[in-house]
Amino acid sequence: MDYEELGKRIAQLRKQAGYSQTTLAQYSGISRATIAGFETGRATDLGTRKLIKLLGILGHELSIREASPLPTFEEIISAQSD
Q: How far apart are CA 36 and CA 11, in angstroms?
A: 9
Q: pTM (2 decimals)?
A: 0.77
Domain ranges of the chain: 3-57
| Residues 19-38: tens digit of each pLDDT | 999 999 999 999 999 999 99
Q: Is residue 1 predicted with pLDDT exceeding 80?
A: no
> CATH assignment of 3-57?
1.10.260.40
Q: How far apart are CA 10 and CA 35, in angstroms?
A: 9
Q: How far apart are CA 76 and CA 52, in angstroms?
A: 30
Would you state the pLDDT for residue 74?
Answer: 79
